[in-house]
């Protein structure tokens, strides 16, 4: 095949003979001179390009690092703020419920104060011991972990105070147990000098010294009308709780009557161990995090935890004499830190670092990450050095190519090279690479080398084109993988984090078709509507989440699904169907053993009923398997609930139901 390019003017080679007649030494001097000039120019160009590359990369890497730092701080701040937001939400609900009951004259018309409190003869009044050790009410529900202490300065009590104290106890006894996943204890302080606490494992009110003056203590003084005229909630500084062996912060929410009287303060102690372990972790690159308040108090710092422990959390930046920490605090005080939890990134050249900061929502605390400049500069240096080496290598190749061309005449191959160039410009790389366009590569000299290099260049360009197509294909696969991840997210139930009905239908059809030893189970939370009616839908959501999480923990090798409402499905594969069934029976019993209070259930706690069936019995008919297990669930509920029945399929004589304890 012959490839023809467009016609170009012919290049005269009449100067070739004159050049060939020059002495070899003169030609070598000329070539050497040109090469030296090329080396000098290439060196200067490489240095200049390296400098430009450094400036460009510095800007790009800085922008990327700052965006990464901002995203990181925002993510951490949002995650850590959840604990504090839960405290604010729960205690505000408590305040609303307390005020609603307190202002209702029909509530506690008979305070029954003596039913709950007694005077032990030491000048105080205390909540009776059985309210801590535990007693069972008329509904069979156990109440415990409550203590109360009325100091001597609060006595004697009038009727309003007795009613308020009893209301405080009853509200705390009702609400506090459901909050203990977030708090270590919840307590109410009364301005007259009394405290009622829900504190599992700590009988504080029973053991408090009789001569204690509570009105002198921070738990009462901090939120008094005199010390807190704004009546805003307060996040107290952290301290190390020796009893809980953990770092703790206290959230204090005053409760005032409509006429402005201070009725009580509800307080929650929150364990911050997980947050502070993250703060105090060690980083090899010098990055670290800390927490400050806008008044300069140090909440957490990797190097100051022992000092904070010794000082009961009362350490201020201004008293430490640490110039770096003082510089950070001053820089943040001069900046406008968003109050909505949005991140802010600052450059602090005085300490050669970037500061990423966000406010932990509601606390007034600043979560700060300090990232030294050396991290980013190191990345820029490495990228620039690689680029510099590449530019140097390219420059060296170009100088060598020019030197080879200058050794001999280059006039006569120009036409061939011109035609080959036109083919390359038209994208016909293969025409040049495969030799269809003739170039003088057969010569055993510099021209031949140049011609061969030209052909190799065409091959490399063609290969680069192929690599580009491959890169596009790889990117397409990455996008497909990202789409699959998004698809996976669509298979999760947002409330319980279990798989949803869509995932269940897909997995059931797949499992039914394999003929494996997979067992299908379908559960229903017993009397769940009554639970919602008695405790509210929010509590119902939490109870449903706990049931799902318990099933996940008990059956770690099972796939758990929210089938619909309070119905939960499970697919469990073991070596035999009998092993899977036994595991499902165990899971049913464990749900009851959790003893989640349910006063509207005959069992007194949340239980589940269920049906199960081996999929292998249905030979790929998923619909029939689902109908069978649904019928078994119906039989379990008809038989009294709190049990798991095996669907009756092939062997009617096989035992059908096994009630859980």
Residues labelled as active-site residues: 566
Kindly write down the DSSP assignment for every residue of 284-352, as one continuous string: TTS-EEEEEETTSBEEE-TTTHHHHHHTTT--BHHHH--HHHHHHHHHHHTS---SSS--EEEEETTTT
Where does residue 203 rank: exposed (0-12), middle (13-18), buried (19+ CB within 10 A)?
A: middle
CB-based contacts of 243, cutoff 8 Å, min separation 6: 202
What is the C-alpha end-to-end distance of the chain, expressed in Å?
A: 89
Rounded CA gap, 305 and 176, in Å? 30
Q: Pick the closest to residue 417 from 447, 396, 395 (CA basis).
A: 447
288 backbone dihedrals φ, ψ, rounded to 5°: -150, 170
In this structure, the number of other CB atoms found within 10 A of the CB of residue 638 comes to 11
Both structure tokens of 422: 């036109």
Rounded CA gap, 621 and 606, in Å? 33
Rounded CA gap, 67 and 519, in Å? 48
Q: What is the 3-state secondary structure (H, E, C) of 517-573?
A: CEEEEEEEECCHHHHHHHHCHHHHHHHHHHHHHHHHHHCCCCEEEEEECCEEEEEEE
Is the previous residue joined to 156 through a cis bond, with omega within 30 degrees of 0?
yes
Sign of CA dihedral 472, 486, 70, 303: negative
Q: Which helix (H) or strand (E) holds 472?
A: helix 446-489
């Amino acid at each position: 095949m012959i490839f023809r390019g467009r016609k170009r003017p012919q290049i005269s080679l009449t100067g070739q003979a004159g050049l060939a007649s020059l002495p070899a030494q003169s030609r070598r001097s000329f070539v050497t001179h040109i090469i030296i000039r090329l080396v000098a120019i290439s060196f200067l160009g490489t240095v200049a390009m390296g400098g430009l590359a450094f400036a460009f990369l510095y800007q790009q890497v800085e922008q990327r690092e700052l965006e990464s730092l901002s995203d990181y701080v925002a993510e951490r701040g949002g995650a850590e703020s959840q604990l504090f937001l839960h405290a604010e939400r729960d205690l505000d609900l408590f305040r609303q419920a307390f005020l609603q009951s307190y202002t209702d004259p029909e509530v506690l018309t008979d305070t029954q104060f003596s039913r709950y409190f007694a005077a032990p003869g030491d000048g105080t009044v205390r909540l009776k011991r059985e309210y801590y050790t535990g007693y069972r009410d008329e509904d069979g529900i156990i109440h415990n972990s409550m203590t109360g202490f009325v100091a001597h300065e609060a006595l004697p009590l009038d009727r309003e105070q007795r009613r308020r104290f009893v209301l405080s106890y009853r509200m705390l006894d009702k609400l506090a147990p459901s909050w203990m996943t977030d708090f270590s204890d919840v307590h109410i302080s009364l301005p007259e000098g009394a405290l009622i606490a829900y504190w599992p494992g700590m009988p504080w009110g029973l053991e408090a010294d009789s001569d204690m003056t509570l009105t002198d203590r921070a738990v009462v003084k901090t939120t008094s009308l005199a010390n807190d005229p704004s009546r805003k909630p307060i996040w107290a500084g952290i301290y190390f709780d020796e009893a809980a062996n953990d770092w703790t912060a206290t959230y204090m929410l005053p409760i005032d009557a409509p006429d402005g009287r201070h009725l009580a303060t509800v307080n929650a102690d929150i364990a911050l161990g997980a947050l502070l372990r993250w703060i105090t972790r060690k980083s090899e690159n010098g990055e670290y995090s800390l927490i400050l308040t806008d008044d300069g108090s140090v909440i957490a710092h990797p190097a100051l935890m022992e000092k904070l422990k010794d000082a009961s959390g009362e350490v201020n930046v201004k008293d430490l004499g640490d110039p770096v920490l003082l510089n950070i605090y001053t820089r943040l005080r001069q900046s406008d830190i968003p109050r909505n939890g949005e991140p802010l990134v600052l450059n602090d050249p005085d300490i050669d670092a970037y500061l990423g900061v966000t406010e932990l929502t509601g606390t007034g605390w600043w979560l700060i990450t300090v990232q030294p400049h050396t991290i980013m500069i190191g990345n820029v240096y490495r990228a620039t050095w690689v680029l510099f080496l590449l530019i140097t290598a390219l420059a060296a190749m170009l100088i060598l190519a020019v030197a080879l061309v200058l050794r001999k005449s280059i006039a006569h191959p120009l036409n061939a090279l011109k035609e080959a160039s036109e083919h390359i410009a038209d994208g016909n790389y293969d025409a040049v690479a495969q030799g269809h366009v003739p170039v003088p590569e057969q010569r055993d000299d510099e021209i031949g080398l140049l011609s061969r290099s030209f052909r190799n260049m065409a091959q490399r360009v063609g290969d680069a084109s192929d690599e580009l197509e491959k890169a596009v294909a790889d990117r397409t696969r990455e996008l497909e993988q990202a789409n699959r991840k998004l698809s996976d997210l669509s298979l999760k139930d947002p409330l319980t984090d279990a798989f949803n009905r869509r995932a269940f239908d897909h997995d059931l059809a797949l499992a039914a078709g394999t003929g494996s030893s997979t067992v299908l189970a379908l559960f229903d939370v017993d009397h769940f509507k009554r639970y919602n009616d008695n405790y509210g839908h929010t509590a119902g959501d939490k109870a449903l989440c706990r049931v799902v999480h318990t099933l996940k923990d008990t059956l770690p090798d099972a796939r758990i699904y929210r089938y619909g409402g309070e119905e939960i499905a499970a697919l469990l594969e073991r070596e035999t169907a009998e092993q899977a069934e036994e595991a499902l029976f165990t899971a049913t019993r464990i749900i009851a053993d959790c003893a989640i209070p349910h006063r509207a259930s005959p069992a007194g706690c949340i239980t589940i009923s269920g049906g199960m069936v081996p999929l292998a019995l249905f030979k790929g008919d998923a619909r029939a398997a689902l109908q069978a297990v649904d019928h078994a669930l119906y039989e379990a509920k008809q038989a009294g609930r709190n049990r798991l029945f095996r669907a009756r399929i092939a062997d009617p004589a096989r035992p059908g139901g096994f009630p859980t304890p």
